[in-house]
With several copies, the nearest count.
Chain A
Amino acid sequence: MTALLDALRDQFPVLDQTVHGKRLVYLDNAATVQRPLPVLHAMDTFYRESNANVHRGVHLLSQRATDQFEAARVTISRFINARFSHEIIFTKGCTEAINLVAHSWGGANLRPGDEVLLSHGEHHANIVPWQLIAERTGAVIRPIPLHDSGELDLEALRAMLSDRVKLVGVKHVCNALGTIHPIEEIVRMAKSVGALVLVDGAQSLANVDVDVQALGVDFYSMSGHKAYGPMGVGALYGREELLNAMPPYQGGGDMIRTVSFEKTTFNDLPNKFEPGTPNVAGVIGLAAALDWVAGLDSASIKAHKQSLLDHATEELNRIEGVKIIGTAAQKAPVVSFVTDFAHPHDLGTIFDQHGVAIRAGHHCCMPLMKRFGVPGTARASFAVYNTNQDIIVLIEALRAAREIFA
């Protein structure tokens, strides 16, 4: 494992630096993960060799760009086992993907009194778009309670289901606590009342296997930069029939069939939802990232991440005054904690001086923080390139903070 890990870390030049005179220990992977060299190369090569606008050109560069762009769509559709590549809509990120669904599907289908159920732990990206559309349509948003472990209260969900419920939204992997939610079961329950299921998969591609057909989800939103890919690119998976029936979201070039001031007709999938010049380099970078992930030995990577999580959990539990928030049985390698001696923000500053990059705050999950009665947490989140040594430094930094405050 060590040799493998060393080779892996070599792919991430950003890790090879010191901050405040200390070795960088990057544990902010749930905010954004670093990109390996093949991703940087793929984008750079595109700009140096094939850069052109897609879809509309008869010249070679444009054809090359279009071919690479559409090949990336196929890569992503295979990675999550979508039925058709045109079920993948490229967006600028996970947030936009959810806004697309809320606006287009929600705007066309929600009626006054209809209900959208969202887990109490959702990221603001899967709450606010629904609040905006609820205001317009008169639909009602209801939070699905969580257990103290951070797991979804499935009994409560069952009790909330009725034929007023039109959509259930839940994240696959919780960015704040790490909880992996039982999507298949949630889908089964939602289907029993005919509700659609949108899964916020922002944290998924780097952490769990995703098979949208096996999961049975209707919509699945993704983020490139959380999956070893570049910033500024994400994707929405939607079932073909649903996407076909939905009105366009944004208007512009490429998403139309014909435009006139009298009447405009729209293009087919996926173009209908992709107006304007897409982030071609970004999409190519994302495909390179997924190819890179697919090339790793998935079993040993999983074991490695689990051992990091176990190690960190154990060490944190040892320190007096530290409380881990989120103790689900199924977790991604994320530990969120509070202490009785320091505010998470102060911990963040002290850790930073030790070279340790963590996140402190509400992690864009204010309702979740409120649910656990904390203003925020300190969160360490791990990626393939993290090591046990990283955890040792984290714990040292935490002990140093305790020295200062306690």
Chain B
Amino acid sequence: MNLNELYQEVILDHGRKPRNFRLLPMATHTAEGHNPLCGDQIHLMLSVRNGTIEEATFDGCGCAISTASASLMTEAIKGQKVEDAEVLFRQFQEAIVANGDTEPLGVLECLIGVKEYPTRVKCATLAWHALRAALESEEKSATISTETGEVIPHA
């Protein structure tokens, strides 16, 4: 795998011009994602109604990979049922750690190449862990860390 396969045009594009990169004042679920080792942070905001993710936005700062991943993820989950987003989280998570082939993920597939770069897997999964944290948390907001993926509900 060479660098061009990691930094595909779609990643570069979403890295440069992230979609859904804005605050969501009406958010019903939010989560902070931190990568304490490199300092990447994203703030994920969801507006969930009747089991459907009506809006998904983020802000924060990170590398091309984590920004593109958040951008692509928010596009993918917008309009989805919460259960479907959870399935997608699991599929994505599996694909990025698997050795062999896994379910095709459409446009998200471009992020899976990162598995050849072990130090960067955490960048690609940061937004996704934040998604799980936001959805699972009983509270309105939560914080997760790439180090354990553990959810720390805010006090």
Contacts and interface: CB of A to CB of B under 8 A. Distances in A.
Interface string A341-370: 011111011100100000011100010010
A214 interface: no
Contact of B120 (A58, A257, A400): A58
Contact of B148 (A62, A268, A362, A375): A268
Contacts of A404: 3-4, 7, 12
B13 to A, nearest CB: 11
Interface stretch (B19-27, B58-66, B127-135): B58-66
A256 B37 CA distance: 9
A346 B64 contact: yes
Contacts of A99: none
Contacts of A57: 119
B39 A58 contact: no
Given A267-B145, A343-B63, A343-B64, A349 B119 contact: yes
Given A343-B63, A404-B3, A362 B38 contact: yes
B53 interface: no
Contact of B39 (A86, A342, A350, A366): A366
A241 B35 CA distance: 22
A256 B145 CA distance: 11
A55 interface: yes
Contacts of B2: 353
Contacts of A360: 38
A369 B39 CA distance: 10
A405 interface: yes
Contacts of A58: 38, 119-120
A268 B38 contact: no
Contacts of A350: 3
Given A342-B64, A343-B62, A362 B39 contact: yes
Contacts of A258: 34, 36
Contacts of B145: 257, 267-268
B147 interface: yes
B40 interface: yes
Interface-central residue, B36, B65, B145, by most chain A CB under 10 Å: B36
B12 A268 contact: no
Nearest to B148: A268
B109 interface: no
A189 B43 CA distance: 43
Interface residues of A, number: 36
B76 to A, nearest CB: 22
A361 B39 contact: yes
A376 interface: yes
B65 A257 contact: no
Given A258-B34, A268-B150, A346-B65, A63 B39 contact: no
A56 interface: yes
Interface string B1-19: 0111011000010010000
B51 interface: no
B65 A62 contact: no
Contacts of A353: 2-3
A301 interface: no
Contact of A56 (B38, B40, B67, B148): B38
Given A56-B37, A350-B3, A360-B38, A405 B147 contact: no
Contacts of A361: 37-39
A266 to B, nearest CB: 9
A173 B34 CA distance: 28
A68 interface: no
Interface in B138-155: 145, 147-148, 150
B36 A375 contact: no
Interface string A267-291: 1110100000000000000000000
Contacts of A366: 39
A346 B148 contact: no
Contacts of A55: 37
A22 to B, nearest CB: 12
B123 interface: yes
29 contacts: A56-B37, A59-B119, A67-B118, A257-B36, A258-B34, A267-B36, A268-B145, A268-B148, A342-B64, A343-B15, A343-B63, A343-B64, A345-B38, A345-B62, A345-B65, A345-B123, A346-B7, A346-B15, A348-B119, A349-B117, A350-B3, A360-B38, A362-B39, A366-B39, A375-B39, A375-B40, A404-B3, A404-B7, A405-B64
Given A268-B150, A343-B63, A349-B3, 15 more contacts: A58-B120, A59-B119, A267-B36, A268-B145, A342-B64, A343-B15, A343-B64, A346-B64, A346-B65, A349-B6, A349-B117, A404-B3, A404-B4, A404-B7, A405-B7
